[in-house]
Amino acid sequence: MQDAAPAPADAPPEAGLRDRKKEAKRAAIIAAAQAEFIAHGFAEARLARVAARAGVAKGTLYLYFDSKEALFDAVLRGALPLIFAPPEAADPGIPPQTAFRLRLRAAIADMQASGRDKLALIVLSESAQFPGLARIYLETILEPLFGLVRDYARSSGVARLEPLTRYPQLLLAPMLAATMWNRLMTERPPLDLPELLETHLTLVLGPPEGEPAPLTG
């Protein structure tokens, strides 16, 4: 019911104070919920904790979301648009392989920074209860990434890479696996995702052509 976002991010400037506060609260709830879901998964997440973290009463949650599931849905949808932001007009002088690597690198860094990689795990693992969400997730996040890989493999003209057009997963799987690894192995030093990505890309695609050094220290 209240699920259709009541006010888009780019609301008219004269949007009432009322609406702005509502939107802020909505955002606070989603943020609290995201933290809760990441920390406990869906089944073990407690709406009482979400409400407490968001600084509202339990009942208030239901002014914004119809159910726990709808809240989870909103967290995911809130996360989605950010994941695969516009391509940012690739610099023309850059060689395609470099551009490709930059794109992937940015996507991975973004997911990690926002904690949405953890959300992905939750969707993937508790998907039995959310077939709908799972599909959304795949279509909205994974498919575009796969498309990126496919396009590159196809346009590169390298025969060795042909399998990637059929199984783009092969290039991305380590990111997923590493995310899991880091979630699990809290006792060991976490895997460095960017470095792992780089290593994997080099292993599969070959060493990078002269490209700008990564910014990440």
Q: Which residue has the tokens 């959300």?
A: 119
* 199 touches, from a copy of itself, DNA, none (C-beta below 5 to 8 Å by class): a copy of itself
**Considering only residues 18, 88, 89, 210, which one is a binding residue for DNA as defined by CB under 7 A?**
18
Q: Is 39 in the site for DNA (CB under 7 A)?
A: no
Cβ-based burial of 76 (10 A; exposed 0-12, middle 13-18, buried ≥19)? buried
- 101 close to 95: Cβ distance less than 8 angstroms: no
Sequence-ordered list of residues with C-beta below 8 angstroms from that of 37, at least 6 positions apart, any chain: 45, 72, 75, 119, 122
CA 65/CA 71 separation, integer angstroms: 6
CA 148/CA 184 separation, integer angstroms: 29
Interaction mask 149-188, DNA, x per CB under 7 A:
----------------------------------------
Nearer to DNA, 89 or 128 (CB): 128
Q: Is 189 in the site for a copy of itself (CB under 8 A)?
A: no
Q: Report CA torsion sign: 102, 136, 127, 55.
A: positive
Nearer to DNA, 62 or 181 (CB): 62
* 134 touches, from DNA, a copy of itself, none (C-beta below 5 to 8 Å by class): a copy of itself
Binding residues for a copy of itself (CB under 8 A): 39-41, 43-44, 121-122, 124-129, 131, 134-135, 138, 160-161, 163-164, 166-167, 169-170, 172-174, 176-178, 180-181, 183-187, 191, 196, 199-200, 202-204
